[in-house]
Amino acid sequence: MFPVGAYLAALFGAFIITSLVMPFWIRWCTRIGLVDEPGARKIHDSAIPLAGGLALLTGIAIPLIAGASVIQFGWLQTDGLEELQHGILRRGQQLLIILFGAASMAAIGWLDDKHELPARTKFFGQVIVAIFVALSGTKITLFVHNDIFAYAITVLWIVSVTNALNFLDNMNGLCAGLGAIAAVAFGIIAVIHGQYLVAIFCLLTCGSLFAFLPFNYPKASAFLGDSGSHLIGYLLAILAILPDFHSASNPKAWAVLTPLLILGVPLLDMAWVVINRLRHGQPFYLGDTTHISHRLVKLGFSKTKAVAFVWVIGLVCAFGAVLLNR
């Protein structure tokens, strides 16, 4: 059995690093003016630094690179070392490209935070990153043995999930909380199927998000910004692709629907607001107050309770997905 210590190191390593760098990134963003000013649709009354994405990326990248180096060079002798070294040798290049994609997607969001990129420019950047990742071998097949189909559906998936989380980042803790829940679910399923490197990547994401949440919920001292929401959406899209939900040793064709269940809340929310905006003749990429969180507030929920309620829905969906993969 794979050593639990490696899982704990990933979870707590990302948590500790993110916690340590958050104050630095908050100060840096404040100093350069990378802040979210109060406005018409904003719920805050003072400028909030957009430090979340930078902190999350740092908290995931440092322990991932450090851990991979320690394992590959055998600097730490532990049970399961040969398994880890074999996994890194086999999937190391893929992980580096995924990490590069994460940095690139966060950079697109950062540029949008700083300069308010046109929607087409931002979308083009997302597609380029998704194509690059798909060409590296991280792709969806859905039982269709055709490369063009695989690349197209992979790019569509990465761009869709990235934007779904970006759209949903409209209240304190909402995007980060749902991201953490989804990452935990993908991690548990990866552990169940013995996919230890995927599980470690999930736990790195979880640890970083758990560390960020106290800075963002219920009262925010930092926001994710487009940098953070782009990063979370991208990571969840990748975490949904990496596990083998269906294989010769575990033949469950229906299990490929697992990502749709785990990410059901952000995907359905995006579908609803896009359809609603198009029906009213509005550009689908312009923000409004028709998201599920806003509707709960209109029903009488406080913003904090509305976010917690959406988390519960996400937990139920994630729990169902884990049960389906047992």
The CA angle 287-291-293, to the nearest 5 degrees, is 125
Domain ranges of the chain: 4-324
Q: What share of the chain is helix, strand, coil (3-state, %, to 5)?
A: 70, 0, 25
Buried b (16+ CB within 10 A) or exposed e, 277-292: beeeeeeeeeeeeebb
Which pLDDT value is given to residue 2? Answer: 57
Q: What pLDDT is attached to residue 192?
A: 86
| Distance from C-alpha of 209 to C-alpha of 175, rounded to nearest angstrom | 10
HSE, side-chain direction, 13 A CA sphere, residue 93: 4
- For residue 23, say if its preceding peptide bond is cis, omega within 30 degrees of 0: no
Q: What is the pLDDT of residue 285?
A: 82
Say how far apart CA 226 and CA 224 lie, in whole Å: 7
Tell me which residue has tokens 């840096």.
Answer: 28
- Provide the 3-class DSSP secondary structure of residue 48: strand
**183, 177 contact by CB (below 8 A):** no
Alpha-carbon span 186 to 21, nearest angstrom: 26
163 contact partners, CB below 8 Å, separation of at least 6: 126, 233, 270
Asked if residues 236 and 183 have their Cβ atoms less than 8 Å apart, the reply is yes
H or E stretch at 200: helix 196-212
Query: Residue type for 235, please?
Result: L
**Type of residue at 63:** P
At residue 246, the pLDDT reads 56
Residue 150 CA: distances (Å) to CA of 19, 60, 263: 38, 28, 20
Regarding pTM above 0.85, the answer is yes
Are the beta carbons of 183 and 290 closer than 8 angstroms?
no
Q: Return d(Cα 122, Cα 214) in angstroms, integer.
A: 29
Radius of gyration of the chain (CA): 19
Tokens read off for 219: 């009262």
CA distance 12 to 7: 9
Residues facing 49 on adjacent strands: 35
Tens of pLDDT along the chain (326 residues)? 456 778 898 999 999 999 999 999 999 999 999 998 875 555 555 789 999 999 999 999 999 988 877 776 655 555 555 666 556 666 667 888 999 999 999 999 999 999 999 999 999 999 999 999 999 888 887 777 888 999 999 999 999 999 999 999 999 999 999 999 999 999 999 988 888 888 999 999 999 999 999 999 999 999 999 999 999 999 999 999 987 765 555 656 566 789 999 999 999 999 999 999 999 888 888 888 889 999 999 999 999 999 999 999 999 999 999 998 87
Whole-angstrom distance, CA of residue 299 vs CA of residue 90? 51
B/e letters for 154-173, b = 16+ CB within 10 Å, e = fewer, are bbebbbbbbbbbbbbbbbbb
Q: What is the per-residue pLDDT for 44?
A: 52
Give the span between the Cα atoms of 247 and 266, in whole angstroms. Answer: 27
Cβ 214 vs Cβ 142: under 8 Å: no
